[in-house]
Amino acid sequence: MPRRLSPLDAVLARAGDALVGRQREDAVAPRPTPDATDGALTAPQRHHAAGLMRVNHAGEVAAQALYQGQSLLARDPQVRRHLQQAGAEERDHLQWCAQRLAELGEAPSRLQPVWYGASFAMGAAAAMAGDRWSLGFVEETEKQVVQHLEGHLDRLPPADKRSRAIVAQMRADEARHGDEARAAGGTDLPLPVRMAMRGVARVMTRTAYWF
């Protein structure tokens, strides 16, 4: 059975739903965690894998906030539904990462409220710029996330098949979200914005690994 979200994760996952008048029960049922059987992991390997999965969990907290901020201020109802559906799939990712962290015996980032608040503000700002820019923000975010996840597949211990299966499925979902945002009318972001996004992501990933 999938592990239930922690109380804090549940609050983060549902916060924006209350703002847009939509509950999780209206979405598709949560998907089961990608299944795989671990090989033998040394203590340092487990610690390293947990650090990477903590980064991924923090990224999914940020994803919740981004999609919630964007859907709250989306102008076109169809764009809002698109963002909400993508956000529902990101909640699966949030649960998978939380479950894997528990299996590895470690906790999520203690800075979750910071990641959530900053990301919600970024999502709302993107939405205020207009739906095409907001969708372009989704596309660029997902491009960067795919690159980040590919890096984690290179760095995760080969024996950590559980984490690798989760990250691989997340990578496939994120790539699809980016493609769908482009097809829905997303436009390319200016280079300075893309570089700023990379800088913010770099700070989060380096910090969340340890805290």
Does the pLDDT value for residue 28 go beyond 80?
no
Is 33 among the domain residues? no
Q: pLDDT for 46-97, tens place per residue?
A: 999 999 999 999 999 999 999 999 999 999 999 999 999 898 889 999 999 9
| DSSP run (H or E) holding 197 | helix 191-208
Please give the pLDDT value at position 6: 55
Pick from 46, 9, 49: nearest CA to 30: 9
Rounded Cα distance between 153 and 194, Å, is 23
Q: Dihedral angle at the C-alpha atoms of 112, 118, 124, 128, nearest 10 degrees?
A: -170
Please give the pLDDT value at position 24: 44
Is 6 among the domain residues? no
Q: pLDDT for 167-193, tens place per residue?
A: 999 999 999 999 999 999 999 999 999
Is 37 among the domain residues? no
Phi/psi zone of residue 20: left (φ > 0), alpha (ψ -120 to 50 degrees), beta? alpha
User: What is the average pLDDT value for the chain, to the nearest integer?
Assistant: 88
Query: Could you give the number of structural domains in the chain?
Result: 1
Show the CA angle centred on residue 183, arms to residues 14 and 127, nearest 5°.
Answer: 45
Please give the pLDDT value at position 7: 55
Residue 145 sits in a domain whose CATH number is: 1.20.1260.10
Confidence of residue 38 (pLDDT cuts 50, 70, 90): confident
Is 145 among the domain residues? yes
Does the pLDDT value for residue 118 go beyond 70?
yes
Is 112 among the domain residues? yes
Is 51 among the domain residues? yes
Is 69 among the domain residues? yes
Domain residues for the domain of 98 are 12-19+42-208
Confidence of residue 17 (pLDDT cuts 50, 70, 90): very low
**Worst-scoring range by mean pLDDT, 25-34, 40-49, 61-70, 147-156?**
25-34
Is 4 among the domain residues? no
Pick from 107, 35, 27: nearest CA to 64: 27
